Chain A
Amino acid sequence: MTATKQIHLAAHFPGVNNTTVWSDPESGSQTDFASFVHFAQTAERGLFDFLFLAEGLRLREHRGRIHDLDVVGRPDTLTVLNAIAAVTTHLGLGGTLNTTFNEPYELAKQLASLDHLSGGRAAWNLVTSSDAFTGENFRRGGFLAPEQRYDRAQEILDATRELWLSWAEDAVVADRERGVFVRDGAVPVVEHRGEQFSFSGRFSLPPTPQGHPVLIQSGDSDAGREFGARTADAIFSRHGTLEAGQAFYRDLKGRLPRYGRAERDVTILPATTFALGDTAEDAEEVADRVRRAQVSPQTAIAFLEQVWGRDLSAYDPDGPLPDVDPDPDGTSITRGRVRHEKDPAAVARQWRELAEAKGGLSIRELIIETTARQSFVGTPRQVAEQMDTYVQENACDGFILIPHLVPGGLDEFVEKVVPELQDRGSFRTEYTGPTLRHHLGLARPRA
């Protein structure tokens, strides 16, 4: 018999898209530090591997105005993670930081500082968004052609690693007797000459408690997957069903040998949502209620406008789909959000068929039907069983859970599902080491 695969869990702070339900009376502040403390401490009580923060560097716009239907606003990723380090002891601290609108020396110093000050708990989710829209907030603007995104990401990563690992592991001796703080020659000049960056100088920090922070990747294109296979310690994927998960898992892990890496070197974690109830029926009811709250009448119209590429504000969300066709030129109606629909006309056709087949769904019912299904719905035992099945059957190595509520969205999961996972023997019953690398079973990186 093979040993039970151990599940890795991460907690995504619910953020700026419609999965976060702000209209619920239980919904608290999205930005008060107390919300982050509650959420992070709950994840740590649940022995999660890490907390995860997403990032978007420009407020999203819809039809030329700031999108106002979802949560808007978040704190600075690195600063809030440093603060959370003060109120947790073992939880990993994962932050999304853009590879296009940051420079390697500064990022290397900031991330190394987080890792030192948290005792080895930092992780960096590298994202490559490079649009000119976001670039308007930065000195350097949106200067990068889309096909160069991963070239730059690879190079910024290479450059930060050169800096992180530039000092010898045993550089700091702090020997009072001899008056020697660092070994002679232990702080070398790093010289990086590349296509995207050209810099030189000495780094101001030794390797961190983890060697360097854990690296997470979440792009999904071929280039994105290749980048992940080559460099990432963990992958944040959006392939959340059993079959799609298994296909992605095979694909990604199949790319590893090319880089001399083993399956266990990369942890695959799909974005995951859940609804819990005391009975299966209760859970379905909760799931329905949450999905309705996630898709308000106004949100339903906005979703439709994203596909149709035109103003549909005159349509009744409780009425039928519009009879006009999508505007083939109107695809940039929403900005600051990654688009996954490729062919609007085909999507519209499909949706019309679906609405009809289901007995004439309204716009809002259709959007609920197509967009917001939770990954796992059931009693705590059922959800634990399903999650375990996914991991044991190699659809993933664990999950990045995205609850729908701040700050209490993780409470019930930690109270009820985590013990079930532990009973199944597939989740830790205590932290066995201090660093995130340790939680993930990763080796210390070498220069």
Chain B
Amino acid sequence: MGRSTYLAVEVSGAGRHPAAWLRPDAQPDALLTAPYHVGLARLAARAGADFLAVPDSLAPPSADPRLVPLRLDAVAIAARVAPVVPGVGLVPTVTVTHTEPFHVSKAIATLDLVSSGRAGWEPVVSRTAAEAELFGRKPAAPPAELWREAVEVVDVVVALWDSWEDDAVIRDVATGRYVDRDKLHYIDFSGEFFSVKGPSITPRSPQAHPLVVVRGDEPEALAVAAARADVVRVAAADLATAHTARERVRAAVAAAGRDPDAVAVLLDVEVLLGADAGSARRELDALDAHRELAPSSLRVVDTAATLVDVITDAVAGGAADGVTAVPLALPSGVRAIAADVAPRLADRGLRTPVAPGATLRDRFGLARPANRFEGARA
């Protein structure tokens, strides 16, 4: 059997479509409750998804009364579902432009701890003046600067994950020492944007390095993805464009001195599934009648079988290593993926079964990394 086709599911609010909350099967009153998010995560786990992507942003909510202006902290959602939903990776989006790398590092390490090694994160930048205004510390910056800073954040976050060696806690009664401080390390990072001393206050986590997921669409972001990401997400209108995008990512990864086969490229696919193409189409038309949503990537408004064909073609044709399914409406969208898409993918032998207790790194064939500081003495 060849490598598994990766499947991620992105869930946010009532779904990506701004009118999705109006559907009869939506749960607009439950969007801030834990059971709603646990339910979505359970469905993603039932679908055998490699991870659940939980978007986040500092972009201020719309004042339009017809839109859902709610946004919970994505790490909070991931941590809330982690202990009660086994068997799926958890990848919250984390904004890095106005936040503290030290806090981010221990938050994701802790998500890894409470999920027994299923954590990842997707760093994103905050580009607008409106986001900068929420902090009032610095003005909005151009993409090149934002992503240069984002690289520093990723580097600090990961270095802090290594600032504790795995066996730093020794509990040596004879010498009275709880830790071997030679196995705790200052990272002494000093960059263009900030400096961080370390070590982390949080020990090394089960995976050591939770997965780094980066969008590779923007040229400035692509460089970061190529140099730092374990998984790269791309958006593309069709499979031909996706193919080009994946080649671009692979070339950039190779240029960064890394093995392109070790970095999975996942194509975003917006989905609205129905019993037949016509009914799926009518459901989308009903949503678009309230407010139209232009596709942000390949969109499949059709049957589960068609979606499976598209995924099969995408992988066979080298357009992607897998997909991030983005339901336009929830919870119906993720329910359909669990009930109708996942079994068909399995039937085609596209999904390799995962050992119980597998970490998110295991799912992507990534070994637990060695510690850069091992052997170094403070």
Measured CB to CB, the residues of A under 8 A from B are 22-23, 27, 30-33, 37, 56-59, 65-66, 68-76, 78-80, 82-83, 85-87, 101-103, 105-106, 109-110, 113-114, 116-119, 136-140, 172, 174, 176, 179-187, 197-206, 296-299
Question: Is B145 at the interface (CB under 8 A from chain A)?
Answer: no
Q: Determine the chain A residues whose CB is within 8 A of the CB of B77 once the complex forms.
A: 113, 117
A32→B117 CA distance, assembly (Å): 12
Beyond A174-B28, A198-B136, A202-B60, is A73–B169 a contact (Cβ under 8 Å)?
A: yes
Beyond A69-B177, A139-B194, A298-B177, is A78–B107 a contact (Cβ under 8 Å)?
A: yes
Beyond A76-B110, A117-B37, is A83–B80 a contact (Cβ under 8 Å)?
A: yes
Question: Is B229 at the interface (CB under 8 A from chain A)?
Answer: no
Q: Could you count the A-B residue pairs with CB atoms below 8 Å apart for me: how many are there? A: 220
A198→B61 CA distance, assembly (Å): 19
With A138-B100, A138-B196, A204-B61 given, name 5 new contacts (CB 8 A).
A32-B113, A71-B178, A73-B201, A201-B130, A203-B61
Q: Determine the chain B residues whose CB is within 8 A of the CB of A68 once the complex forms.
A: 177-181
Distance between A436 CB and nearest chain B CB, rounded to angstroms: 16
- Among the stretches B1-9, B62-70, B337-345, the one at the interface with A is B62-70
**Count of chain B residues with a beta carbon within 8 Å of a chain A beta carbon:** 79
Question: Is B83 at the interface (CB under 8 A from chain A)?
Answer: yes
23 inter-chain pairs at a CB distance below 8 angstroms, sorted by A residue, are A27-B171, A58-B201, A66-B184, A68-B177, A68-B180, A72-B168, A72-B169, A75-B109, A76-B107, A78-B107, A83-B79, A83-B80, A102-B103, A103-B98, A105-B134, A106-B99, A187-B69, A198-B136, A199-B134, A202-B63, A205-B32, A205-B72, A296-B176
Distance between A301 CB and nearest chain B CB, rounded to angstroms: 9
A23→B133 CA distance, assembly (Å): 50
Q: Determine the chain A residues whose CB is within 8 A of the CB of B71 once the complex forms.
A: 109, 204-205
Q: Which of B32, B79, B101 has the most CB of A within 10 A?
A: B79
CB of A82 within 8 A of CB of B76, answer yes
Q: Which of B28, B29, B110, B196 contacts A75 (CB 8 A)?
A: B110
A87→B83 CA distance, assembly (Å): 7
Q: Which of B80, B116, B133, B197 contacts A199 (CB 8 A)?
A: B133
Chain B, 83-133, CB within 8 A of any chain A CB: 83-84, 98-103, 106-107, 109-111, 113-114, 116, 130-131, 133
Question: Is B82 at the interface (CB under 8 A from chain A)?
Answer: yes
A31→B66 CA distance, assembly (Å): 44
Question: 6 nearest interchain CB pairs?
Answer: A298-B176, A82-B79, A83-B114, A204-B71, A136-B197, A174-B28
CB of A80 within 8 A of CB of B114, answer yes
A68→B35 CA distance, assembly (Å): 42
Q: Determine the chain A residues whose CB is within 8 A of the CB of B61 once the complex forms.
A: 187, 202-204
Beyond A59-B201, A76-B202, is A201–B133 a contact (Cβ under 8 Å)?
A: yes
Question: Is B22 at the interface (CB under 8 A from chain A)?
Answer: yes
CB of A105 within 8 A of CB of B290, answer no
Beyond A23-B171, A76-B106, A83-B114, is A180–B65 a contact (Cβ under 8 Å)?
A: yes
Beyond A66-B179, A298-B177, is A86–B199 a contact (Cβ under 8 Å)?
A: no
Beyond A70-B178, A78-B76, A202-B61, is A181–B28 a contact (Cβ under 8 Å)?
A: yes
Question: Is B275 at the interface (CB under 8 A from chain A)?
Answer: no
CB of A117 within 8 A of CB of B76, answer yes
CB of A37 within 8 A of CB of B83, answer yes
A94→B112 CA distance, assembly (Å): 21
Question: Is B195 at the interface (CB under 8 A from chain A)?
Answer: yes
A435→B83 CA distance, assembly (Å): 21
Q: Determine the chain B residues whose CB is within 8 A of the CB of A33 once the complex forms.
A: 83, 113-114, 116
Question: Is B198 at the interface (CB under 8 A from chain A)?
Answer: yes
Q: Determine the chain B residues whose CB is within 8 A of the CB of A185 once the complex forms.
A: 63
Q: Determine the chain A residues whose CB is within 8 A of the CB of B83 once the complex forms.
A: 33, 37, 83, 86-87
Q: Determine the chain A residues whose CB is within 8 A of the CB of B33 once the complex forms.
A: 116-117, 119
CB of B173 within 8 A of CB of A23, answer yes
Chain B, 177-196, CB within 8 A of any chain A CB: 177-181, 184, 193-196
Q: Which of A31, A78, A198 contacts B203 (CB 8 A)?
A: A31
Distance between B191 CB and nearest chain A CB, rounded to angstroms: 11
